Amino acid sequence: MKGVVSAFFYTFARKNCIYKMNFKHNIPLQSHLSMLMAEVFWGLMAPLGKDAMTHGFDGISMVSMRVMGGAILFWLTALFTKKEKVPLRDKLLFAGAAVFGLACNQCLYTIGLSFTSPVNSSIVTTSMPIFAMVLAFLILKEPITFQKALGVFVGFCGAVILVLTSAAAVSDKVGDIRGDLMCIGAQLSFALYLSLFNKLIKRYSVFTVNKWMFLWATLLIWLFSFTHVAAIQWCEVPLKSWWEAGFVVFFGTYLSYILTMVGQHYLRPTVVSIYNYVQPIVAVSVSIATGIGVFTWLQGLAVLLVFTGVWFVIKSKSKRDVAVKS
């Protein structure tokens, strides 16, 4: 078994090296495919994760498995990739990055998803660029334009409508205000991570960044969740829920993080941001098709406002970037 596992990660790492050598010949196509696949996986993760947390698991156990699974997979893969020397100072900084980028982000999102509908959770995830812009203005002192301010206002109105719809909902298929607010908090946490640790994560490869961040996140989360997870009756969890949890860990975490960083490395931020719209489209379609969630006209209005707000923000950013380059 050990030999099979080693062979898998060696083959994956070797293919990754060959992929990098040949990447420059098809950068646009492969970068776009990487972002598309990542967003599709994340879109599927919402309804599948919700179903798993309805039949066997809960939010705390799911996020605990997710960070531990990610840590194991990234550390195993790192054994077969180029080693990078990480000084103690950066290792400690990765702990801070893990607090906002993984621990708070994934706890709030996963536990929030266990309360609310996968439709609402996926809609909320598209608001992250708005939070990132606001924090960039407050922390990094980046200029804010009228178009960006308008985008924040419109997106905020969409979020308010979504939350108020959940507050009046009688079923979690429509939404739950607790879950919606937690998912919004997850986006704020991740935007804070990008603003504070952007320079750190750019210094290292995807495997180095994620192996240290997931390790720290595992230590932080399991410190509080171990007793809860240990009390779960694992033998009573349906096989279907295990498969769904496996999808969340491997495709929705490990593979999606790699694909996203590949896309972010070669595509402009504005292009990457546009791919965020794929996630709710997939999540809403699958949720409605499987009966896990419903889609009301008020949710449709919230989607329109959030999407429009994000579009204003990224469009303004794109113009600024073009002006700087010229």
Q: What is the pLDDT of residues 244-295, one digit of tens each?
A: 999 999 999 999 988 887 777 777 766 676 777 788 888 888 888 887 777 7
Question: Does residue 6 form part of some domain?
Answer: no
Is the pLDDT at 143 greater than 90? The verdict is: no
Q: For the chain, what is the mean pLDDT? A: 81
Mean pLDDT to the nearest integer, 54-72 = 92
Is the pLDDT at 323 greater than 60? The verdict is: no
Residue with tokens 């490869």: 205
Is the pLDDT at 8 greater than 80? The verdict is: no
To which H or E segment does residue 284 belong?
A: helix 278-290
Band (154; pLDDT cuts 50, 70, 90): confident
Question: Does residue 120 form part of some domain?
Answer: yes
- List the domain range (segments joined by +) for residue 160: 30-325
Q: Give me the pLDDT at residue 177, please.
A: 80
Question: Does residue 220 form part of some domain?
Answer: yes
Question: Does residue 25 form part of some domain?
Answer: no
Is the pLDDT at 92 greater than 80? The verdict is: yes
Tens of pLDDT along 95-116?
999 999 999 999 999 999 888 8
Q: How many domains does the chain have?
A: 1
Is the pLDDT at 312 greater than 90? The verdict is: no
What six digits make up the tokens of 27?
Answer: 């950068």
Tens of pLDDT along 165-206?
766 665 666 667 888 889 989 988 988 888 888 888 888 888
Mean pLDDT to the nearest integer, 52-60 = 88
Pick the more confident residue, 306 or 166. 306
Question: Does residue 11 form part of some domain?
Answer: no
Q: What is the CA radius of gyration of the chain?
A: 20
Question: Does residue 181 form part of some domain?
Answer: yes
Q: Give me the pLDDT at residue 325, please.
A: 36
Question: Does residue 284 form part of some domain?
Answer: yes
Question: Does residue 137 form part of some domain?
Answer: yes
